[in-house]
Chain A
Amino acid sequence: MIEAKNLSKSFEDIKALDSISATIRDGNVFGLIGTNGAGKSTFLKILAGILKPESGEILIDNESVFENINAKEKFFYISDEQYFFANTNAKEMMKFYSSVYKNFDTLKCEKLLAALDLGINRKINTFSKGMKKQLCIALGVASNTKYLLCDETFDGLDPVMRQAVKSLFAKEMDERGLTPIIASHNLRELEDICDHVGLLHKGGILLSKDVSDMKLNIHKIQCVFETDFDMDRLKSLDIMQMKNSGRVYTITLKGEEEEIRAKMEEFHPVFFEIMDLSLEEIFISETEVYGYDIKKLIF
């Protein structure tokens, strides 16, 4: 488990993180969302032991990370712009990481590279941005660390490759309990992969919740009522947002799905259906509660 307790970090006059506390449970995919400059990379760099926090601490399995080799052996950090040695190829990078990570699985890495169609002897400087990201993921997964810290790793991956990586993560989580921690400024990228999402804004955590909890409690329904339907009856629902186009209403509301379904049936609508909410919609709804216009924050 990773615990961040009151983490603060400044760069000269700029406060990058301001007393952040968060818990990242093992076996989940943790998504860290925020605009550029929100502090996502700083958080991940502190988590990776690259930066030293000014105050607070970050613990990986109850061990402090900074300059602690035991803790550092438990993760592989993929930065938003990963460094590869000059004029080198995937094979050489593989050798390098295998000399650093004691559980590095060279065979697995070779298989992944082959599956991703990345030439093992091809010079990395001839790779596209997306290919470099894939290479990082392959190296990270093959290092067999408990945690994989990904900073904007999905940025640059095509949808097919994103799905492939998600499957890969799922497989690794299933087989050996990998915990990926993914930072991104794009909520849509994390929508169908994250179990838990933290929203960072101006160095502080605005929200940190399980996606399933959020999805269980927020629903969207589309319905059409009789013309003489008394709209005041809807007040018995915990409505967060309601829009209509003619007689077609789209309502976002809180509550258990069965309870909502039962109440709606009591209203005898002409038509109603419960629709899936995107993570984005959930976030909009949740953050509006705190008085933020989330669209301005992350889209």
Chain B
Amino acid sequence: MTSKSLFFKLLKEDFKVRIWTLAVSILIFFFSHIVGTAMMLSMYKYNRAFSEPTDLLSYKVEFVQTFYSYIGIKNPLFAFIFVVLAVIVAMSGFSYLYSKKKVDMYHSLPVRREVLFFVKILNGILIVILPYIVCSFIASLLVLVNMGDAGIIVTTFFSVAEWILLFIFNYTIVIFAIMLTGNMLIGILACGFLNFYAPAFSQLISGYESTFFDTYYEVGFIAEKVLLKLSGIMVIFGVFDGRLREKMLIAVVGSIVLLVINLLLYRKRASESAGKSISFNIIKLPIKFMIVIFMSMLMYLFGYEMMSNSIAWGVFGAVSAGIITHCIMEIIYNQDFKKIFAKKLQMLICIVISLFVAAVFQFDIFGYDRYIPKVSDISSAAVVSDFLESNASQYFNEMGFHNETRYDSITNIEYASDNDIESMLMREMNIKDKEAVVALAKLGVANLSSEWRADSISERVLISYKLKSGKKVQRVYNIDFDAAIKELSSIYDDEGYKTGMYPILSEDSKNIVSVDFNGIKDNDKHLTSENGDLAKLTEVYKKELMSLKYDTKVKSYPFASIRFNDVDAQKILDAAYKDRGNYSDYSPDSKYADLMDDVGYYPVYPEFKETVAMLKAMGVDLKEKMSVEDIDRIEVSEFNPEQIETYYDSYNETGTKVFTDAKDIEEILDKVVVCDSPYKEDLNEDVNFNVLIYLKSDVSDAYGGGLQYHFKRGDIPENVK
């Protein structure tokens, strides 16, 4: 009998034994996919009957989108289903290792253990994926027949492939848990341990850092990020903020690694371990230490925080949790309640370690907060702060076609989170003036012990160092603006800072196919090559942006925004415009400028004279300020309680003062920062006053509200006082 034919014979025999799991799998996927899709289609048809014919297309698009979301990788229902199925098929296949009777039978057979292992593994996968694939494609065919979009099959194919990879990853984790344990209850507990320990430990460390370190940065150590992803559950439920490719990579690599480890363990595993708690004695001690120390540290933090930062309660929590957890572990290991107090020395060591680690954080024994690397050790640095650039999201939000659906007429903006933006900036930015960065950090450290002052303007400043050793260090400080102007200036004026912050500076100007100018009110323009040399305009803008000094940025005010679109961006804007439909009040020039205006807009300062001149030459009727004639009235209100007391007399009961006189309006307009464009800089604005400008053109409009602005800092007009 060849080993190949033996393999398939065993596969068939094993399949017969596990037939009930196939029935479960078929039932789950039949109802979740075929019945679920049929119900969705039925609802769609019901709703369509009440729709206007013009809405049919959008209904169709919406349905297809809903279907994609349903079968797609982010649906938690399927994440749950695949996790449960992974446990069921892994247990049905390998639970024989928990029974002495079964192990005796299987291991006495003239079958190589590897063959038996792969038979069990493969059957488990087939039992889940065969019904899944069939039901998925039947569901997509149902949609295809009703919607007539062949793209559904492709999307289904990708979704199926992605789910299968995630399932296999979780399946190998459950098998790993089985290999390590000797009975089913402990095996299920081990599944929980493998899936939740690493992320929970990561969260615990983050909790300690954020509680005890003033300069702790949210993203934490690399180890924390890695730990967070060391979990099949986290990956399949997409709990960590990972991209699809990253998830798939983790799933594929994780599955392969675990498969190899499982095979080695399976070969190594002694038959007599069936029925025991843990099948390899060597792992008992490290697992116990990991769990006891984790629980002890967790309860220290819990006791400390719950009892208003009480160290005594923290210690009580750590000691009691350490003892209880150790006792439980010993009962489990020995499967004997009488062994509850076994190995007291190990219990003591665990508790001492926990308290020591807690003390390291509590008293910052290793000087985390005060650590600043030497300039000579720094390879490059990045600084992220609203003091330097408050519009960073413009450069890291991404316009694109809908990722989930791959349906090419649906556009969206993928908004970058603050963490994403900071991560990208820390990765891309290489500030050369390291001395300035270190000086800024020193100000931050000095500020740790200083008291808060009401008159100071302070802001969060994130500093990231890439050290020559390859290590990355991040710290967050609260820094006083006035004290740090010199360092901030040096950093902003650094080429490395600007190149990291502004992607346009690294873009080839020849790639630009259109430019959107977005100015005051409707002063917008979409420029194409027909209007002039866009590459030259881009080059001029890049030169002026690179030359922009922090001093200018602080004192001046951008009056408009500009966006440089390459071919891909223009394609998305065209699609977005199509999606939005043709609104009659949508002026041709502003049709692109207002679309997706959370992405890609850069400031236009009055000091960018060459850019302004070129824009004018290309036909932009550029307005740098509002015209008095257009204004009906201005309402100024202020919020500062001290200011109200001082100026209350001149304001009405709601704290508002209304100006209708042209001279007053002129005076106010000179002092107001007027910027209606997407790029907004409030660095040098006085936010104590709110200035609402009502245009004459909007008076007849019942919904026409005022346009809201602020005064320039330190430049409040006399007539509003």
Which residues of A does B touch, CB under 8 Å?
11, 45, 48-52, 67, 69, 72-73, 75, 77, 79, 81-83, 85-86, 88, 92, 95-96, 99-102, 149
Contacts and interface: CB of A to CB of B under 8 A. Distances in A.
Given A99-B10, A102-B1, A51 B111 contact: no
Contact of A49 (B13, B102, B105, B107): B107
Contacts of B105: 77, 79, 82-83
A32 B110 CA distance: 23
17 contacts: A50-B103, A51-B272, A52-B270, A67-B112, A69-B110, A69-B111, A69-B112, A72-B111, A77-B104, A77-B105, A77-B108, A79-B108, A81-B101, A82-B101, A83-B105, A99-B12, A100-B10
Contacts of A51: 270-272
B471 interface: no
A83 B271 contact: no
A143 B104 CA distance: 17
Q: Which applies to chain A's interface (DSSP): helix, strand, loop or mixed?
A: loop
Interface string B110-122: 1111000000000
Contacts of B13: 95-96, 99
A83 B272 contact: no
A92 B113 CA distance: 22
Nearest to B109: A100
Contacts of B110: 69, 72-73, 100-101
Interface residues on B, range: 20 to 34
Contacts of A82: 101, 105
Contacts of A95: 13
B577 to A, nearest CB: 63
A85 B15 CA distance: 12
A67 B105 CA distance: 14
B559 to A, nearest CB: 79
A121 B12 CA distance: 19
A86 B12 CA distance: 16
A58 to B, nearest CB: 13
Contacts of B109: 72, 100
Nearest to B8: A99
B528 interface: no
Contacts of A73: 110
A11 B111 CA distance: 25
A100 B515 CA distance: 74
A79 B270 contact: no
A75 B103 CA distance: 17
Contacts of B10: 99-100
Given A48-B108, A77-B104, 12 more contacts: A51-B270, A72-B109, A72-B111, A75-B108, A79-B108, A81-B101, A83-B102, A85-B16, A96-B13, A99-B6, A100-B111, A101-B110
A79 B111 contact: no
Contacts of B147: none
Contacts of B17: 85-86, 88
Contacts of A83: 99, 101-102, 104-105
B336 to A, nearest CB: 13
B9 interface: yes
Contacts of B1: 102
Given A11-B272, A102-B1, A72 B108 contact: yes
A50 B104 contact: yes
A50 B107 contact: yes
A257 B17 CA distance: 59
A45 B112 contact: no
A49 B101 contact: no
Given A11-B272, A83-B99, A85-B17, A67 B113 contact: yes
A99 B9 contact: yes
B357 to A, nearest CB: 33
A123 B111 CA distance: 26
Interface in B141-159: none
Interface in B269-299: 270-272
